[in-house]
C-alpha cells in the first residue's frame, strides 16, 4: 500500500540547510583593500598552549607558553582569517614540540600564501636549585622566550632569557661604615647563535655575573652565606651588563646579543638601567 506523502516530506534536510547557509556567508577578509598599504605582521596574540622543550638535566620539560602567530598581509587584501592560525597550531597536536617551530612557520606561509611568518612563545622555565649551605632543594622559575621568523625558507631565531639576581652597590659599600644597600635586579639576555644554546647555560651565565644569585628556599645559614657573598662581590648595573657581555663574547656559538639589566633600587624612587648590544 502506497504511503500518502505529508507536507514535511519535502522539507530540506538539516545538513542541506547548513550547507546552503554557509554558501551565503560573505568573506569580508578577502575583499580588496584600496588604501595601498601592506601590513608587516597581522595575526593572533595571547594564546596559551602546552609546549615541550629540551631540558639539560631531565631531557624534556613540559610547560605552558603564551603564543603569538603572525604573517604579512599584501596591500590588496582587506584582512586575514584569524581562525587559520589556531588551525595551524592545533594541527601539530595537543602539545607543541619546540623542534616543530620551523614546520609551524612554513605551515603558516602555506596556509596564508604569505611571504613571511612569525611565531613568538613566552613561557616559565623551571630549575631545581640547591641552597648553598643547607643543601635544601627548591624549584626556581625563570622566563624564557622564542621569537622565530621565516622569510620564504630562511629562518631567524632569537632566544630570550629573563633572570632575577641580587646586586650590591659598590659606592654604598665604599662610603658606608655599616653595610651597603642591595636590591633585586632583572637581567634580560637575547641571543642569536650558530648552534642551539641551553636555557640553563644562559641562566647560569647571568647569575654568575651578579653579586649573588637568588633562591626559592633559604634557611638561616643560607641567608647568611648569600648576603655575605653579595657584600664581597658588589656590582653596579653597568658592571652587570659588562660581566654578561664578556661571557657572551667568549661563547663560540653566539653571533648576536642584547643584554639589559634593571635594578629595582632599594633607596631610590627610580630604577637603574643599562644595555649592551653586539652583532
Q: What is the pLDDT of residues 120-164, one digit of tens each?
A: 999 999 999 999 999 999 999 999 999 999 999 999 999 999 999
At 81, which CATH number?
3.10.270.10
At residue 237, the 3 state secondary structure works out as helix
Residues 266 and 175 in one domain: yes
Residues 176 and 250 in one domain: yes
pLDDT at 21: 52
The 10s digit of each residue's pLDDT in 68-114 is: 999 998 877 777 889 999 999 999 999 999 999 999 999 999 999 99
At residue 47, the 3 state secondary structure works out as strand
pLDDT tier at 12, thresholds 50, 70, 90: low
pLDDT at 81: 84
The 10s digit of each residue's pLDDT in 27-76 is: 666 666 667 788 999 999 999 999 999 999 888 999 999 999 999 988 77
Q: What is the pTM of this model?
A: 0.86
**Ramachandran category for residue 220: left, alpha or beta (phi over 0 → left; psi -120 to 50 → alpha):** alpha
Provide the percentage of residues in the chain whose pLDDT is more than 70: 89
Beta bridge partners of 198: none
Count of structural domains, the chain: 2
Domain around 124: 33-130
Residues 165 and 275 in one domain: yes
Residues 166 and 278 in one domain: yes
Question: What one-character-per-residue DSSP string does 68-113 give?
Answer: EEEEEE-TTBS---THHHHHHHHTT-SSEEGGGHHHHHHHHHHHHT
The 10s digit of each residue's pLDDT in 208-252 is: 999 999 999 999 999 999 999 999 999 999 999 999 999 999 999
CA distances to 93, 111, 140, 233 from 107, rounded to whole Å, are 14, 6, 35, 50
Residues 234 and 121 in one domain: no
CB atoms inside a 10 Å sphere around CB 4: 6
Is residue 64, in this structure, part of any structural domain at all? Answer: yes
Residues 126 and 171 in one domain: no
> Looking at 78, 109, 130, which one is the last position of a domain?
130
Amino acid at each position: 500500500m502506497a504511503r500518502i506523502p505529508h507536507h514535511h516530506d519535502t522539507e530540506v534536510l538539516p545538513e542541506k540547510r547548513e550547507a546552503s547557509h554557509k554558501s551565503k556567508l560573505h568573506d569580508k577578509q578577502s575583499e580588496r583593500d584600496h588604501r595601498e598599504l601592506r601590513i608587516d605582521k597581522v595575526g593572533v596574540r595571547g594564546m596559551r598552549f602546552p609546549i615541550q622543550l629540551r631540558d639539560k638535566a631531565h631531557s624534556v620539560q613540559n610547560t605552558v607558553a603564551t603564543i603569538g602567530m603572525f604573517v604579512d598581509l599584501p596591500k590588496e587584501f582587506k584582512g586575514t582569517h584569524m581562525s587559520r592560525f589556531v588551525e595551524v597550531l592545533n594541527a601539530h597536536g595537543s602539545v607543541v614540540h619546540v623542534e616543530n617551530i620551523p614546520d609551524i612557520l612554513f605551515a603558516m606561509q602555506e596556509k596564508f600564501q604569505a611571504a613571511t611568518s612569525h611565531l613568538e612563545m613566552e613561557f616559565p622555565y623551571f630549575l631545581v636549585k640547591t641552597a648553598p649551605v643547607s643543601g635544601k632543594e627548591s624549584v626556581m622559575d625563570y622566563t624564557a622566550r622564542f621569537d622565530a621568523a621565516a622569510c620564504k625558507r630562511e629562518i631567524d631565531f632569537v632566544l630570550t632569557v629573563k633572570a632575577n639576581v641580587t646586586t650590591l652597590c659598590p659606592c654604598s659599600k665604599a662610603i658606608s661604615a655599616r653595610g651597603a644597600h642591595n636590591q633585586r635586579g632583572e637581567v634580560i639576555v637575547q641571543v642569536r647563535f650558530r648552534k642551539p644554546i641551553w636555557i640553563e647555560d644562559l641562566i647560569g651565565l647571568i647569575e654568575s655575573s651578579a653579586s649573588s644569585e637568588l633562591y626559592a628556599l633559604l634557611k638561616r645559614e643560607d641567608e647568611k652565606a648569600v648576603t655575605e657573598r653579595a657584600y664581597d662581590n658588589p656590582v653596579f648595573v653597568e658592571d652587570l651588563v659588562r660581566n654578561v657581555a664578556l661571557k657572551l663574547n667568549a661563547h663560540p656559538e653566539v653571533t648576536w646579543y642584547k643584554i639589559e639589566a634593571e635594578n629595582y633600587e632599594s633607596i631610590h624612587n627610580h630604577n637603574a638601567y643599562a644595555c649592551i648590544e653586539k652583532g
